[in-house]
A and B are shown apart, each in its own frame.
Chain A
């Protein structure tokens, strides 16, 4: 797999994370996660909230660095090809 493909995959993963976050957020919008967490309620809602926050934190804090890394590798690969 060349680095350009890897970069495209990184961007695709970022897009998938955004879509999954949107779907989870829409679903949680019909529940009351704050109350469920505070009162120890539905395991499904608390689990979905945990998944949503994990995806959000990874998407915001980790993915941008990962994309930078893939760009770096792409540039390196382009140089090596020349």
Chain B
């Protein structure tokens, strides 16, 4: 074959390979720096969408899948993440306070309504929100974190006494626990839920000026010894009352745990983020993802992780956005935003801009993750 023809064809193949290498990372990365820098208009478009959808919610739960635990927990997640996301927006852009505060107040009432998570009352015989003293009930960490964010914005909020009471009970239990863990439901101990409990205590301390540093330092040492695997990932579940794992170390639990713990113990949160960065980060053509299972381990994932594709899970990748932003890990954050943009499919709506593939659960989660900030 003529040498010129060979060269021309080689040039054509090279020219055709360039677009997939450059165009996708450019198209999907257009807003990534804005998210990292906290650009008000970028953040506000998603904030407006979430505020409108959650603000219009009348029933306590969003879904009726037939699984009461899932319906209740997803509603708690939506309300909690909405509060965290809108609160973080207000903390970064004070002029948005009057816009989002009414929605935050209403969301906090839904979050603290025992009807939202009826499964908790069924499993314990009573709901932690409606009980003066309780044992276990680590699911309250999610509710308490949401209340804490509202308290940070509005110190004299209507639910302040409930917030104080839940925090006092959770802190008492956590400090008394020899391994730094309490049960979420009877017979179920989940370190990521305990991370939410600790984060909520730390956020309460910030909002009220209470000094809980000594207690949280004691807790963080016990928790780390018990729940962190040699890979640096958190065990997803432990056998109650012990430090024996009941599930493998997982990226989704580690990533969300790193975010929650950033409110309570920044050094421990940094340790978890370091494990995600070193052992969990996978990169392809400028798109980043986080392994659901630590290197050398494998599994199918579950409702907490979402689908697992090539070892990377939707949950771990989405949750790690928060940890990356909190810890100033720009390179990882930008790659994760590209992935979220590619598969989330941003779409404008009358209320703002949302991720079409996310629904309200995904959008509330992404709002909190994309706007997370260092304490």
Q: Is A47 an interface residue (CB 8 A)?
A: no
Distance in Å: Cβ of A31 to nearest Cβ of chain B: 6
| Binary contact track B81-98/A, C-beta < 8 Å → 1, others 0 | 000000000000000000
Q: Give the chain B neighbours of A38 by CB distance below 8 A.
A: 303, 306-307
Q: Give the chain B neighbours of A64 by CB distance below 8 A.
A: 19-20, 23
Q: Give the chain A neighbours of B24 by CB distance below 8 A.
A: 60-61
| Binary contact track B213-251/A, C-beta < 8 Å → 1, others 0 | 000000000000000000000000000000000000000
Contact B342 A22 (CB under 8 A): no
Separation of A62 and B24 alpha carbons in the complex (Å) = 10
Q: Give the chain A neighbours of B362 by CB distance below 8 A.
A: 32-34
| Binary contact track A59-79/B, C-beta < 8 Å → 1, others 0 | 011101101110010000000
Separation of A35 and B356 alpha carbons in the complex (Å) = 12
Q: Is B17 an interface residue (CB 8 A)?
A: yes
Closest to A34 in B: B362
Distance in Å: Cβ of B22 to nearest Cβ of chain A: 9
Q: Which residues of B from 329 to 375 have beta carbons under 8 Å from A?
A: 342-343, 345, 347, 349, 354, 356-362
Contact A60 B23 (CB under 8 A): yes
Q: Give the chain B neighbours of A61 by CB distance below 8 A.
A: 20, 23-24
Contact A28 B361 (CB under 8 A): no
Separation of A65 and B28 alpha carbons in the complex (Å) = 17
Q: Is A37 an interface residue (CB 8 A)?
A: yes
Assuming A26-B347, A52-B345, A64-B19, is B65 touching A34 (CB within 8 A)? no
| Binary contact track B276-310/A, C-beta < 8 Å → 1, others 0 | 00000000000000000000000000010011000
Q: Number of residues in B with C-beta < 8 Å to the partner? A: 34
Separation of A76 and B65 alpha carbons in the complex (Å) = 58
Separation of A31 and B53 alpha carbons in the complex (Å) = 12
Contact A32 B361 (CB under 8 A): yes
Closest to B74 in A: A35
Main secondary structure of the interface of B (DSSP, over half): helix
Q: Number of residues in A with C-beta < 8 Å to the partner? A: 31
Separation of A26 and B355 alpha carbons in the complex (Å) = 10
Contact A65 B70 (CB under 8 A): no
Contact A68 B15 (CB under 8 A): yes
Contact B356 A52 (CB under 8 A): yes
Q: Give the chain A neighbours of B307 by CB distance below 8 A.
A: 37-38
Contact A29 B354 (CB under 8 A): yes
Contact A35 B347 (CB under 8 A): no
Separation of A22 and B347 alpha carbons in the complex (Å) = 7
Contact B19 A34 (CB under 8 A): no
Contact of B357 among A28, A62, A72 (CB under 8 A): A28
Separation of A72 and B13 alpha carbons in the complex (Å) = 11
Q: Give the chain A neighbours of B314 by CB distance below 8 A.
A: 34
Assuming A61-B24, A64-B19, is B67 touching A39 (CB within 8 A)? yes
Closest to A28 in B: B356
Write the residues of chain A forming the contact surface with B, with a CB cutoff of 8 angstroms: 21-22, 24-26, 28-29, 31-39, 41, 49, 52-53, 56-57, 60-62, 64-65, 67-69, 72
A-B contact pairs, 29 of them (CB 8 A): A25-B345, A25-B347, A26-B356, A28-B356, A29-B356, A31-B359, A32-B360, A32-B361, A33-B356, A33-B358, A34-B358, A34-B362, A35-B359, A37-B307, A39-B65, A39-B303, A49-B357, A52-B345, A52-B357, A60-B23, A60-B27, A61-B20, A61-B24, A64-B20, A65-B16, A65-B17, A68-B16, A69-B16, A72-B12
10 closest A-B pairs by beta carbon, nearest first, are: A32-B359, A64-B19, A25-B356, A25-B347, A34-B362, A65-B16, A28-B356, A64-B23, A60-B24, A65-B19
